[in-house]
Structure 1
Amino acid sequence: MSTSDSEEQHLLGEEAPPRGYELILPPGWVRIPLREGTKEALERVLFSHMEKVPEGIPRDDAMRFRLDMRRRMEKLVRTARRKGGGLDLYLPVLPRGGIFLMASFIVAEMPIGQDRQVPVQAVIAQLANEELPGGASTKIDVAGAPAVRRAYRSAFDEEQPSSTPEGIQQSPLLTRRVDYVIPVPDDPGRWISINFSTPGDGDIDSEFTGVLVELFDAVVSTFKWSYR
């Protein structure tokens, strides 16, 4: 088995920034690239992962179900792109225990220190010491290197409209958020974030919502850089 030049440099301890990253996803989750191949990825998801609709949905409603899922995924893609820097969107497309999980996370590039070289430890210290209303920041290790985990709650979700088409105001959707901020090794000024969001079962403090957060943390624990 041959290795690429960048992977050989990495194995030899030479400075070579990674070309990408890898994650192990739970069953039923998919990756939607945000920069290239987005449309093709959506088509693959709809036709390969959603051939069977969940139990309880009448056969006559199968097409409507797929169209609703397509609109939801396209809306998530638009939201991710509006935030800028997005690389990949991850979301569940198959039900677990007969229900669809309302959750997603985005891997994105972050513009930290791109105009000047800011020491990694200084950035991590600043992020870890930032006050998060109703949340907390923690220094951790990701892929064997220092990073920051930020956990908080949000009273507003860009994926949800603030009012109905008739103009009737709705209550803001409460969501649990967890962000990981990770420096790219051997590439000063480049950082990525992994941003998770879920309304859980409607109660962001419920055991079910906590399980979704734990699931995301478990996914991030599989993160590693790719040099191929």
Structure 2
Amino acid sequence: MTADPGIAPDGPPTGYTFLLPEDWVRIPVRYGDPDGAVRSLVASAFAQVPSDVPRDRLTPLRLELERRLRKAVAEARGAGALEMYLPVKLAGEVNLGASFTVSPARIPSRTTGPGGGADPEGGTRPVSDSAEIAVQLLAGDGAAGAADVELSSGEIDGALAVRRERVVPADPERGMELASRRVEHLVAVPGDAGRWLVVAFSTVGAGDPRDDLADAMVEWFDALMTTFRWSWT
């Protein structure tokens, strides 16, 4: 439920919403029952398979899909995500070629003096410059090896937001067999200086992170973020 825009909410938001298409599913990562969500998703994916298909052919495929999903959830949890979203094709097949996660992040207030320099008395102010936000939130996450990093800033649901797009090269040693196109929207949490939400999307396209499919998926994700709304309960 979204707060009434005509009413000033008390305190920071307690959640968020966006208009998720029916062919995408949510898997809780930090809270809820991720194992149950994975089992349900796998069951749904295989519910469309004709009953005359031999079980000995289906079992290895089902186990492999469950293994890949559990690995994706574990990686998202290791990265600090709250939840992840995956597309499901109309026939029930899970598509792991694209996904996005939602994660919390925090930028500490910066010590400043009256003129913007260091304050010997320890005064602080919230960080609000978009370039500084991008540097602080995204430092140390492997971006140095990415190609064509693009940064921009604006607002999402009235809150300051920073967008980053980049291509991350393949890294077989880390289980990344294909290069990926990644887009992050970093949204400031209203009423809670220094607290941010990171919505991070990744796609391999049709095998090339700059192909037409990847372009279409990035456009879709950016359109999804225009429906993002904070909620107060």
Q: Which TM-score bucket, shorter chain as reference?
A: 0.7 to 0.9
Contact 1:128 1:139 in 2 (8 A): no
Structure 1 unaligned spans of 5+: 165-170
Alignment of 1:1-228 (within 5 A): 12-36=7-31, 37-48=33-44, 50-53=46-49, 58=53, 60=55, 61-84=57-80, 86-95=81-90, 100=95, 102-113=97-108, 118-122=125-129, 124-127=130-133, 133-156=147-170, 161-162=172-173, 172-228=177-233
Contact 2:127 2:133 in 1 (8 A): no
In structure 2, what residue type is equivalent to 1:121? S
TM-score, L = length of structure 2 = 0.76
Aligned match of 1:168: none
Contact 1:154 1:175 in 2 (8 A): yes
> Post-superposition shift, 1:44?
2.5
TM-score, L = length of structure 1 = 0.77
- Aligned-residue sequence identity (percent) comes to 35
The 2-side partners of 1:215 and 1:101 are apart by 16
The 2-side partners of 1:115 and 1:45 are apart by 44
Aligned match of 1:167: none
Contact 2:27 2:84 in 1 (8 A): yes
Task: Tell me: CA distance 1:227–1:201, structure 2 relative to 1, closer, same or farther (3 Å).
Answer: same
In structure 2, what residue type is equivalent to 1:51? A
Contact 1:143 1:225 in 2 (8 A): yes
The 2-side partners of 1:180 and 1:39 are apart by 27
The 1-side partners of 2:48 and 2:133 are apart by 44
Of 63-72 and 32-41, the range deviating more from structure 2:
63-72
> Post-superposition shift, 1:110?
0.8
> Post-superposition shift, 1:156?
3.8
> Post-superposition shift, 1:192?
0.8
Contact 1:29 1:92 in 2 (8 A): yes
Structure 2 unaligned spans of 5+: 112-123, 139-143
